[in-house]
Amino acid sequence: MKKIYIILTHTGTFLSTIIKYYTKDEFSHISIALDDELKEMYSFGRLHPYNPFWGGFVHEEIDKGTFKRFKNTRAEIYSLFVTDEQYERINKNIEYFKENKQKYKFNIVGLLCVSIHKKVKSKNTFYCAEFVKHILKSSGVSEVKELPEIIKPEDFEQLKGLRFEYNGLLKKYKKKKYLEIDGVHNLMQNKKISYV
């Protein structure tokens, strides 16, 4: 068994605030990650931090791109156990998107229509929640069948087996991990630890 990570976020951008207003949910974006440090984190979102309407498949990083620009991004992070085979399929499916990202566009119309409970889907287009659902479903994660057809980020909290990991500022999630590692190292060296 291996763990994958589901990351719900809200950046506070104009578009994300509109989405939040209509959905009445706390979070407006979702990503999937293959590791606990979120170095392999993927979604459909902004291709450029300053352009909300130029979107597609993105490799997201806590300290780069959109999340770097919007430093007060709030996050809720969950883990989910999957089989080794499912994990390999997830990895393979994400690799396919990496290699063919020019084929795919951001489904801005579909995203906006979520607010009126209408599904609009064009070929080779996704918004964030559609992408994460597609990756899980095409990788054989059966729990995804319970999710609604018109999908929003917070709908993923319904997934069976989901385990809560973190809530707070996204930028502090990575810092917290490093402090824990540094703390263990410093204790082994019998040094005094100072947290700033």
Could you tell me what percent of the chain has a pLDDT over 70? 89
What is residue 188's predicted lDDT score, i.e. its pLDDT? 36
Q: What is the pLDDT of residue 64?
A: 93
CB 41 within 8 A of CB 7: yes
Instruction: Enumerate domains of the chain plus CATH numbers.
Output: 2-170 (3.90.1720.10)
Contact at 8 Å (CB) between 31 and 10?
Answer: no
Query: Residue 48 pLDDT more than 80?
Result: yes
183 has a pLDDT exceeding 90: no
User: CA angle, corner 168, sides to 7 and 30, nearest 5?
Assistant: 20
Condensed to tens digits (0 to 9), the pLDDT of residues 95-122 reads: 999 999 999 999 989 988 888 888 898 8
Q: What is the pLDDT of residue 180?
A: 52
Q: What is the pTM of this model?
A: 0.87
